[in-house]
Amino acid sequence: MNQQTNDHAPTVEVLGEELGEFFAPVSSDMIDRLIGQYQAMRRKIQETVDLVMGEGRQDAIGYCLEGNMPDLSRYGGKSLERLLNPEGAYKALDADFWQRALNLTDILEVMPAKRRNDWAEQIRRFDTPAFEESTVRATLESLLAQRPAFFAERVDGVFRVLSGVHKTNKTVGFSKRMIVGCMLDDMQHPSSRMANYLNDLRAVVARFMHRDEPSHNTTYCDLYRLRERLGVWHSLDGNALRVRLYKKGTCHIEVAPDIAWRLNRVLASLYPEAIPSEFRTQPAPGPKPKHFDLMTRPLPFAVLSALRDCRPHDDWTELTVCATDKHTCQEVERVLESLGGVRTQTRRYAFDYNVQEAINHVILSGVIPDQRSHQYYPTPEHIAEAAVAAAEIAPGEDVLEPSAGQGHLACLLPQERTTCVEVAALHCQVLRAQGFEVVEGDFLEWAKSAPRFDKVVMNPPYQGGRHQAHLDAAAKLVAPGGRLVAILPATVSSHPSRALSDWEVEISTPYTGDFKGTSISVVILTATKPAETSRKAA
């Protein structure tokens, strides 16, 4: 095969022993079996040609062609010879078995887009060498030996297409931001060529994260979703990457620090003198940008692809799962249930809001908020109704719902006068789709400069005493004479918050075992703030 070479091809040793785990060997027995299959099929082709072209049969087959395939028989008696030319059949056979041989390894998955396209073109045109054992073994051995170089070329591919008109682009390694042009064409359609480079980068990152790789068209499809919200940062692949797309086709790319230094280490194998050591050294422990808090277990790309293939009904308030693989189907259904979907038929889920944006968010980010880390336990309906009733919300009163989740409490509050605060971006998409005013961020930070509300209804996170901090912060946002209702661990009955020391406080009897996924007992705390309070208490 005519493949490009690299004078600076790195070795596994240069890239580090860790790359060894990325590449699977190919069994010699599998090649032997493939060669045997090829030779058997080649004999069958020759036997078929000899049988059809034998004495007296050529004229009979000619009539069959003339009566059934007029277009093919327009050249007369020569058409059968052209159809059964063994040399053409052998070329097609060679191309098919070269494809099979490549599929025995992970070579096509590791190859950068340009090399992969070159192979595909030669196979499509039947322009491959004869499928002989010595050639096959030598070619596969050579390609397997080049896998580290292919790995590095995929990383390097992004730098080869960096925009030359943006001075912020740096050639010393993955840093804060890179800018690529022409990601969209003049008609605002994604460029498949440019998408391939970004897809290669995502594939390398996936290997670093020990997850499956995206299929070749994943990024091309994702760009259509990114195009719907131009000029906005979108997190990809468990927050390993962030991208922002503009109408003119410019694409800004940021890489998480935990990933960037490993990519730079790979680049250094190609350009040893060009990548400074500080760019390829693991960053010291310390605070990291919040938007690059890596999710360690993003969803498999097969699941994300199946989500993309779900069939929407009724303005995206119903979805049908189309996945055929049982395990993938179960994972997709779990995601839909986490978004509030209710099964109405086999593989069909109904939502009480337009779920399109939430689905798009999951497909791009690759994750759903982890229940334990986000302390997300949806409020049971009967507890939510009791909490809202205790708030006694009057017409015209402004309401706050901190830690709003997906709106199990908020859906019972007056929508036009309710402000929701939620830290999980996916949950924010769900809340917005339901029509709520949403503040995306950490409630404790937001509360430091937030306005006051007549009523606050909340079900805060509990782990590590977080409910106490959320309760204290919420108390400061209640207007004089207002009311705070909070669903809290039953243990607060013995020590209510100091922030509520001069409030009128009532605590309900405990609810036990009502929250799915946890056996915790909770109470509903209802606290009314004095109509007149000192500046300090306020």
Q: Per residue in 208-221, pLDDT tens?
A: 888 888 888 899 99
Residue 67: pLDDT band (50, 70, 90) is low
Specify whether 96 is located in the same domain as 194: no
Instruction: Note whether residue 328 is domain-resident.
Output: yes
Q: Total structural domains in the chain?
A: 4
Higher per-residue confidence, 312 vs 516: 312
132: Cα separation from own chain's centroid: 41
DSSP-based three-state secondary structure for 201:
helix
Predicted pLDDT of residue 115: 83
Domain-ending residue, one of 92, 116, 150: 150
Closest CA to 377 of 414, 342, 409: 409
Q: Tally Cβ neighbours within 10 Å of residue 223.
A: 22
Specify whether 522 is located in the same domain as 391: yes
Higher per-residue confidence, 136 vs 52: 136
Instruction: Note whether residue 170 is domain-resident.
Output: yes
Instruction: Evaluate if residue 533 carries a pLDDT over 70.
Output: no
Predicted pLDDT of residue 332: 92
Provide the edge-to-edge strand list for the sheet that holds 342-345.
311-313, 318-320, 348-350, 342-345
Instruction: Note whether residue 373 is domain-resident.
Output: no
Distance CA 313, CA 402 (A): 32
Instruction: Evaluate if residue 494 carries a pLDDT over 90.
Output: no
DSSP track, 417-433: GEEEEES-HHHHHHHHH
Specify whether 278 is located in the same domain as 348: no
Specify whether 109 is located in the same domain as 136: yes
Specify whether 243 is located in the same domain as 307: no
Instruction: Evaluate if residue 174 carries a pLDDT over 50.
Output: yes
Instruction: Evaluate if residue 7 carries a pLDDT over 50.
Output: no
Determine the average pLDDT of the residues in 358-382: 75
Range of the domain at 478: 381-528
Domain-ending residue, one of 368, 395, 418: 368
Predicted pLDDT of residue 392: 94
Predicted pLDDT of residue 123: 92
Distance CA 495, CA 467 (A): 13
Specify whether 160 is located in the same domain as 135: no
Instruction: Note whether residue 306 is domain-resident.
Output: yes
Specify whether 447 is located in the same domain as 484: yes
Q: What is the pLDDT of residues 10-45, one digit of tens each?
A: 443 444 444 444 445 555 678 888 999 999 999 998
DSSP-based three-state secondary structure for 280:
coil
Specify whether 351 is located in the same domain as 390: no
Reported pTM: 0.64
Instruction: Evaluate if residue 249 carries a pLDDT over 70.
Output: yes
Determine the average pLDDT of the residues in 487-511: 82
Distance CA 264, CA 49 (A): 56
Specify whether 311 is located in the same domain as 404: no
Q: What is the pLDDT of residues 307-337, one digit of tens each?
A: 999 999 878 989 999 988 889 999 999 888 8
Find where tokens 């007296």 sit.
56
Higher per-residue confidence, 351 vs 388: 388
Instruction: Note whether residue 210 is domain-resident.
Output: yes
Distance CA 99, CA 122 (A): 10
Phi and psi based region of residue 237 (left: phi greater than 0; alpha: psi -120 to 50; beta: remaining): left
Tokens matching residue 473:
């912060």
Distance CA 529, CA 517 (A): 34
Predicted pLDDT of residue 88: 84
Closest CA to 375 of 454, 304, 301, 469: 469
Instruction: Evaluate if residue 277 carries a pLDDT over 80.
Output: no
Instruction: Evaluate if residue 433 carries a pLDDT over 70.
Output: yes
- Lowest-confidence pick of 261-270, 389-398, 428-437: 261-270
Instruction: Note whether residue 472 is domain-resident.
Output: yes
Higher per-residue confidence, 281 vs 265: 265
Specify whether 395 is located in the same domain as 361: no
Domain-ending residue, one of 321, 347, 368: 368
Distance CA 475, CA 503 (A): 10
Calculate ∠ Cα 2-269-255, nearest 5°.
Answer: 100
Distance CA 411, CA 418 (A): 10
Residue 177: pLDDT band (50, 70, 90) is confident
Instruction: Evaluate if residue 377 carries a pLDDT over 60.
Output: yes
| Per-chain mean pLDDT for the chain | 81
DSSP track, 163-185: -TT-TT--SSSS-S-EEE--SB-
Gyration radius of the chain over CA positions: 31
Distance CA 223, CA 193 (A): 12
Residue 8: pLDDT band (50, 70, 90) is very low
Predicted pLDDT of residue 538: 44
Most confident of 77-91, 145-159, 161-175, 384-398: 384-398
Helix (H) or strand (E) holding 523: strand 521-528
Predicted pLDDT of residue 193: 84
With beta carbons less than 8 A apart as the criterion, state whether 65 and 57 touch.
no
Instruction: Note whether residue 427 is domain-resident.
Output: yes
Specify whether 423 is located in the same domain as 490: yes
Predicted pLDDT of residue 390: 94
Q: What percent of the chain has pLDDT over 90?
A: 25
Cα dihedral 338→339→342→348 (10° resolution): -100
Instruction: Evaluate if residue 517 carries a pLDDT over 60.
Output: no
Predicted pLDDT of residue 18: 46
Instruction: Note whether residue 318 is domain-resident.
Output: yes
CA distances from 62 to 45, 67, 68, 86 (A): 19, 9, 10, 17
Q: What is the pLDDT of residues 446-475, one digit of tens each?
A: 999 999 999 999 998 877 678 888 999 999
Predicted pLDDT of residue 151: 78
Q: Tally Cβ neighbours within 10 Å of residue 102.
A: 21
User: What CATH number corresponds to the domain at position 387?
Assistant: 3.40.50.150
Residue 526: pLDDT band (50, 70, 90) is very high
Specify whether 312 is located in the same domain as 443: no
Determine the average pLDDT of the residues in 474-499: 85
